[in-house]
Amino acid sequence: MEEKHFNEMVQNLPIGYGYHEVLLNDKGIPCDYRFLDVNNAFEKFTGLMKKDIVGKTILEILPGIVDSEFDWIGYYGNIAINNGKEKFTQYSEPLKRTYKVNVYSPKKLHFVTFFSDYTEERRLNDDFFTLNNILEMSLNSTTDMIFISLDKSYKYLYFNKTHYNDMKNAYNREVKLGDCIFDFMSSKEDIERIKINYDIALSGKSHVTLEKYGDIEVNYYETKFDPTYDMEGKIVGLTVFSSNVT
Protein backbone atom coordinates (compact mmCIF):
# COMPACT_ATOMS: atom_id res chain seq x y z
CA MET A 1 0.00 0.00 0.00
CA GLU A 2 1.47 3.33 -1.03
CA GLU A 3 1.63 6.24 1.38
CA LYS A 4 -0.82 8.15 -0.79
CA HIS A 5 -3.55 5.63 0.11
CA PHE A 6 -3.18 6.48 3.80
CA ASN A 7 -3.11 10.20 3.01
CA GLU A 8 -6.27 9.86 0.94
CA MET A 9 -8.02 8.11 3.83
CA VAL A 10 -7.03 10.89 6.24
CA GLN A 11 -8.06 13.60 3.78
CA ASN A 12 -11.53 12.04 3.43
CA LEU A 13 -12.26 11.40 7.11
CA PRO A 14 -15.59 12.96 8.21
CA ILE A 15 -13.79 14.53 11.19
CA GLY A 16 -11.21 17.30 11.23
CA TYR A 17 -7.54 16.32 11.35
CA GLY A 18 -4.48 18.45 12.02
CA TYR A 19 -0.81 17.65 12.56
CA HIS A 20 1.27 20.30 14.32
CA GLU A 21 4.73 21.11 15.65
CA VAL A 22 5.09 23.06 18.90
CA LEU A 23 7.63 25.92 19.04
CA LEU A 24 9.42 26.83 22.28
CA ASN A 25 10.89 30.13 23.44
CA ASP A 26 14.42 30.46 24.82
CA LYS A 27 13.13 29.30 28.22
CA GLY A 28 11.70 26.08 26.80
CA ILE A 29 8.09 27.25 27.15
CA PRO A 30 5.57 26.68 24.31
CA CYS A 31 5.05 29.98 22.53
CA ASP A 32 3.50 28.98 19.19
CA TYR A 33 2.74 25.99 17.00
CA ARG A 34 3.10 25.33 13.30
CA PHE A 35 0.60 23.61 10.99
CA LEU A 36 2.20 20.62 9.20
CA ASP A 37 -0.91 19.05 7.67
CA VAL A 38 -4.71 19.31 7.75
CA ASN A 39 -7.53 17.49 5.96
CA ASN A 40 -10.65 18.54 4.08
CA ALA A 41 -12.88 18.40 7.16
CA PHE A 42 -10.45 20.74 8.95
CA GLU A 43 -11.07 23.33 6.26
CA LYS A 44 -14.83 22.81 6.51
CA PHE A 45 -14.96 23.10 10.32
CA THR A 46 -12.59 26.05 10.71
CA GLY A 47 -12.86 28.03 7.47
CA LEU A 48 -9.05 27.95 7.24
CA MET A 49 -7.69 26.67 3.94
CA LYS A 50 -4.79 24.20 3.80
CA LYS A 51 -2.94 26.20 1.14
CA ASP A 52 -3.03 29.27 3.39
CA ILE A 53 -1.93 27.73 6.70
CA VAL A 54 0.41 24.73 6.21
CA GLY A 55 3.94 25.83 7.09
CA LYS A 56 2.67 28.82 9.06
CA THR A 57 2.12 29.21 12.81
CA ILE A 58 -1.10 29.80 14.69
CA LEU A 59 0.06 33.29 15.69
CA GLU A 60 0.66 34.16 12.06
CA ILE A 61 -2.84 32.99 11.16
CA LEU A 62 -4.83 33.93 14.27
CA PRO A 63 -2.76 36.40 16.34
CA GLY A 64 -5.79 37.15 18.49
CA ILE A 65 -5.73 33.62 19.91
CA VAL A 66 -3.39 34.84 22.67
CA ASP A 67 -6.28 36.93 24.03
CA SER A 68 -8.59 33.92 24.28
CA GLU A 69 -9.75 32.80 27.70
CA PHE A 70 -8.56 29.29 26.87
CA ASP A 71 -4.77 28.90 26.46
CA TRP A 72 -4.65 26.89 23.23
CA ILE A 73 -0.87 27.16 22.79
CA GLY A 74 -0.10 26.25 26.38
CA TYR A 75 -2.61 23.39 26.42
CA TYR A 76 -1.39 21.77 23.22
CA GLY A 77 2.24 22.54 24.12
CA ASN A 78 1.97 20.66 27.41
CA ILE A 79 0.59 17.60 25.61
CA ALA A 80 3.33 17.72 22.96
CA ILE A 81 6.10 18.03 25.56
CA ASN A 82 4.79 15.28 27.85
CA ASN A 83 3.60 12.77 25.22
CA GLY A 84 0.08 13.27 26.53
CA LYS A 85 -3.43 12.80 25.23
CA GLU A 86 -6.69 14.50 26.12
CA LYS A 87 -10.33 14.87 25.11
CA PHE A 88 -12.10 18.17 25.61
CA THR A 89 -14.85 20.47 24.35
CA GLN A 90 -13.94 24.13 23.90
CA TYR A 91 -15.20 27.31 22.30
CA SER A 92 -12.76 29.06 19.95
CA GLU A 93 -13.17 32.81 20.21
CA PRO A 94 -11.23 33.66 17.02
CA LEU A 95 -13.26 31.16 14.95
CA LYS A 96 -16.56 31.68 16.80
CA ARG A 97 -17.16 27.93 16.98
CA THR A 98 -17.19 25.15 19.56
CA TYR A 99 -15.18 21.99 18.97
CA LYS A 100 -15.01 18.52 20.46
CA VAL A 101 -11.34 17.60 20.30
CA ASN A 102 -9.26 14.46 20.75
CA VAL A 103 -5.56 15.34 20.90
CA TYR A 104 -2.45 13.22 21.38
CA SER A 105 1.30 13.48 20.88
CA PRO A 106 2.84 10.92 18.47
CA LYS A 107 6.35 12.20 19.22
CA LYS A 108 8.03 14.95 21.22
CA LEU A 109 6.99 18.51 20.35
CA HIS A 110 4.31 17.29 17.93
CA PHE A 111 0.59 16.77 18.37
CA VAL A 112 -2.34 15.48 16.34
CA THR A 113 -5.93 16.66 16.68
CA PHE A 114 -9.10 14.91 15.58
CA PHE A 115 -12.14 17.12 16.08
CA SER A 116 -15.72 17.83 15.14
CA ASP A 117 -17.65 21.10 14.97
CA TYR A 118 -19.90 21.01 18.04
CA THR A 119 -21.34 24.50 17.63
CA GLU A 120 -24.84 23.54 16.52
CA GLU A 121 -25.03 20.51 18.79
CA ARG A 122 -24.16 22.61 21.81
CA ARG A 123 -26.69 25.25 20.84
CA LEU A 124 -29.44 22.66 20.59
CA ASN A 125 -28.10 20.75 23.62
CA ASP A 126 -28.28 17.47 21.70
CA ASP A 127 -26.53 14.33 22.87
CA PHE A 128 -24.60 13.26 19.79
CA PHE A 129 -21.89 10.67 19.55
CA THR A 130 -18.62 11.55 21.26
CA LEU A 131 -15.54 12.18 19.14
CA ASN A 132 -14.10 8.82 20.09
CA ASN A 133 -17.19 7.10 18.72
CA ILE A 134 -16.94 9.09 15.49
CA LEU A 135 -13.27 8.24 15.11
CA GLU A 136 -13.96 4.58 15.83
CA MET A 137 -16.73 4.57 13.24
CA SER A 138 -14.38 6.15 10.70
CA LEU A 139 -11.71 3.51 11.20
CA ASN A 140 -14.29 0.74 11.01
CA SER A 141 -16.33 2.14 8.14
CA THR A 142 -13.98 0.95 5.43
CA THR A 143 -14.11 -2.71 4.44
CA ASP A 144 -10.88 -2.70 2.42
CA MET A 145 -8.50 -1.01 4.86
CA ILE A 146 -6.98 -2.93 7.76
CA PHE A 147 -5.45 -0.97 10.64
CA ILE A 148 -3.63 -2.43 13.63
CA SER A 149 -1.25 -1.11 16.27
CA LEU A 150 1.14 -3.38 18.15
CA ASP A 151 3.65 -2.91 20.95
CA LYS A 152 7.24 -4.22 20.84
CA SER A 153 6.04 -7.62 22.07
CA TYR A 154 3.64 -7.85 19.10
CA LYS A 155 0.64 -7.41 21.41
CA TYR A 156 -2.47 -5.64 20.16
CA LEU A 157 -2.92 -2.00 21.17
CA TYR A 158 -5.68 -1.48 18.61
CA PHE A 159 -7.28 -3.13 15.61
CA ASN A 160 -10.25 -2.20 13.48
CA LYS A 161 -13.24 -4.32 12.52
CA THR A 162 -11.82 -5.23 9.11
CA HIS A 163 -8.73 -6.78 10.70
CA TYR A 164 -10.88 -8.67 13.19
CA ASN A 165 -12.98 -10.13 10.36
CA ASP A 166 -9.96 -10.96 8.19
CA MET A 167 -8.23 -12.83 11.02
CA LYS A 168 -11.39 -14.81 11.66
CA ASN A 169 -11.66 -15.74 7.97
CA ALA A 170 -7.96 -16.52 7.58
CA TYR A 171 -7.32 -18.45 10.81
CA ASN A 172 -10.75 -18.93 12.40
CA ARG A 173 -9.61 -17.02 15.50
CA GLU A 174 -11.14 -14.02 17.29
CA VAL A 175 -8.38 -11.54 18.11
CA LYS A 176 -8.30 -9.70 21.45
CA LEU A 177 -6.63 -6.50 22.66
CA GLY A 178 -3.58 -7.12 24.81
CA ASP A 179 -2.79 -10.51 23.28
CA CYS A 180 0.06 -11.35 20.92
CA ILE A 181 -1.01 -11.43 17.28
CA PHE A 182 1.01 -14.61 16.69
CA ASP A 183 -1.23 -16.49 19.15
CA PHE A 184 -4.03 -16.16 16.61
CA MET A 185 -2.10 -17.32 13.55
CA SER A 186 -2.08 -21.05 12.84
CA SER A 187 0.39 -20.91 9.92
CA LYS A 188 4.05 -21.02 11.04
CA GLU A 189 5.08 -19.77 7.60
CA ASP A 190 2.85 -16.72 7.96
CA ILE A 191 4.22 -16.01 11.45
CA GLU A 192 7.82 -16.17 10.26
CA ARG A 193 7.12 -13.90 7.29
CA ILE A 194 5.10 -11.29 9.15
CA LYS A 195 7.56 -11.23 12.07
CA ILE A 196 10.34 -10.24 9.68
CA ASN A 197 8.24 -7.28 8.51
CA TYR A 198 7.33 -6.30 12.07
CA ASP A 199 10.99 -6.40 13.10
CA ILE A 200 12.00 -4.19 10.18
CA ALA A 201 9.49 -1.57 11.38
CA LEU A 202 10.66 -1.99 14.98
CA SER A 203 14.20 -1.28 13.78
CA GLY A 204 13.00 2.14 12.58
CA LYS A 205 12.36 1.47 8.91
CA SER A 206 9.02 1.99 7.14
CA HIS A 207 8.36 -0.32 4.22
CA VAL A 208 5.65 -1.73 1.95
CA THR A 209 5.07 -5.39 1.01
CA LEU A 210 2.78 -7.46 -1.19
CA GLU A 211 2.38 -10.93 0.32
CA LYS A 212 -0.17 -13.67 0.89
CA TYR A 213 -1.46 -14.69 4.30
CA GLY A 214 -4.03 -17.11 5.65
CA ASP A 215 -4.57 -20.74 6.51
CA ILE A 216 -8.28 -21.41 6.08
CA GLU A 217 -8.71 -18.57 3.58
CA VAL A 218 -5.63 -17.25 1.72
CA ASN A 219 -5.49 -13.70 0.36
CA TYR A 220 -2.89 -11.25 -0.94
CA TYR A 221 -2.29 -8.06 1.07
CA GLU A 222 -0.53 -4.82 0.21
CA THR A 223 0.78 -3.63 3.56
CA LYS A 224 2.64 -0.61 4.95
CA PHE A 225 4.60 -1.06 8.19
CA ASP A 226 5.67 1.97 10.26
CA PRO A 227 7.45 2.33 13.61
CA THR A 228 5.79 4.32 16.41
CA TYR A 229 7.80 6.51 18.79
CA ASP A 230 7.47 7.89 22.31
CA MET A 231 8.23 11.49 23.33
CA GLU A 232 11.96 10.72 23.59
CA GLY A 233 12.08 9.35 20.06
CA LYS A 234 12.34 5.73 21.19
CA ILE A 235 10.49 3.07 19.22
CA VAL A 236 7.65 1.62 21.29
CA GLY A 237 5.76 -0.38 18.68
CA LEU A 238 4.47 -0.30 15.14
CA THR A 239 1.38 0.46 13.09
CA VAL A 240 0.18 -1.48 10.09
CA PHE A 241 -2.10 -0.35 7.26
CA SER A 242 -3.11 -3.10 4.87
CA SER A 243 -5.43 -3.70 1.93
CA ASN A 244 -6.71 -7.02 0.61
CA VAL A 245 -5.75 -6.93 -3.08
CA THR A 246 -6.68 -10.49 -3.94
Mean pLDDT to the nearest integer, 223-236: 91
Separation of alpha carbons 120 and 118, rounded Å: 6
Cα separation, 70 vs 5, in Å, equals 36
pLDDT on residue 1: 47
- One DSSP character per residue, 82-134 reads TT-EEEEEEEETTTTEEEEEEEE-SSTTEEEEEEEE-HHHHHHT-----HHHH
pLDDT tens digits, one per residue of 177-200:
899 999 999 889 999 999 999 999
Give the C-alpha separation, 213 to 199, whole Å.
17
- For residues 212 and 241, what is the distance between their CA atoms, to the nearest angstrom? 15
Q: What does pTM read for this prediction?
A: 0.51
Overall residue count recorded for the chain in this entry: 246
